[in-house]
Amino acid sequence: MKQVQDYIRTIPDFPHKGIMFRDVTTLFADPRGFRLAIDQMLHPYVGIQIDKVVGLEARGFILGGAIAHQLSVGFVPIRKQGKLPGKTISQAYTLEYGEAVMELHDDAIQPGEKILVVDDLLATGGTAEASIKLIERLGGEIVSCAFIIDLPALGGRKKLETMGMDVSVLCEFEGE
């Protein structure tokens, strides 16, 4: 029986030489693989109160929308700077070469709402950390952060757990 990681394609030297890119589009394109990933991501949260699923740009939108649908809760996107209309709050974070900014509508989450954060891959944890800070600034209470892939060598899981976050992953890959 195929596991989630069996549906994920690895592309060497993308986007830079020495990087092993973990491509989840092959997982999304396969109906069995996609269903398997969504079902496994949902499993830890059955019977737990979740008010909204927050998906991180861009593949977190695909996963988060499907999970929110299955849980019958709202979906909230966190996007790169300048992509959301209306009033937003923003949070800068560090990239390998520079800085980026994530944004969230200032009325997307109400104080006390229980939030599940979803994305495809956890690497250094910078994007997730910025997103957590945005959610907490609006008073959201993060139940957990769920990812398909963890790259343990890059330390993102440890970063989020040090922040007090529960982290759930479906599979791990070595390297970058």
Domains, the chain: 48-172 (3.40.50.2020)
Residue 129 annotated in active site: no
As a whole number of angstroms, the distance between CA 39 and CA 13 comes to: 31
Interhelix angle 31-42/59-71, nearest 10 degrees: 60
Exposed / middle / buried, residue 41 (Cβ in 10 Å: 0-12, 13-18, 19+): buried
What pLDDT shows up at residue 175? Answer: 72
Give per-residue pLDDT as tens, 66-87: 999 999 999 999 999 999 999 9
d(CA 164, CA 10): 31
Q: What percent of the chain has pLDDT over 90?
A: 93
Instruction: Please report, as a single letter, which amino acid is at residue 23.
Output: D
User: How many whole angstroms separate alpha carbon 175 and alpha carbon 5?
Assistant: 15
Residue 172 annotated among the catalytic residues of the structure: no
For residue range 86-128, what is the model confidence (pLDDT) as tens digits?
999 999 998 767 799 999 999 999 999 999 999 999 999 999 9
Res 26: pLDDT:
98
pLDDT at residue 47, as a whole number: 94
Residue 176 binned pLDDT confidence (cut-offs 50, 70, 90):
low
pLDDT of residue 110: 98
Mean residue pLDDT of the chain comes to 96
Q: Cβ distance 53 to 60 under 8 Å?
A: no
Percent of the chain predicted with pLDDT > 70: 99
The pLDDT of residue 65 is 98
13-52 residue pLDDT tens: 998 898 999 999 999 999 999 999 999 999 999 999 999 9
Q: Single out the residue of 44, 42, 52 nearest to residue 113, CA to CA.
A: 52
**20: its two tokens:** 């092993």
Whether 163 contacts 132, CB under 8 Å: yes
Question: Of 35, 79, 96, 129, which residue is the catalytic one?
Answer: 96
pLDDT at site 98 = 78
Three-state DSSP at 126 gives: helix
Residue of 9, 22, 57, 59 marked catalytic: 59
Across 131-138, average pLDDT:
98
Contact 21, 28 (CB under 8 A): no
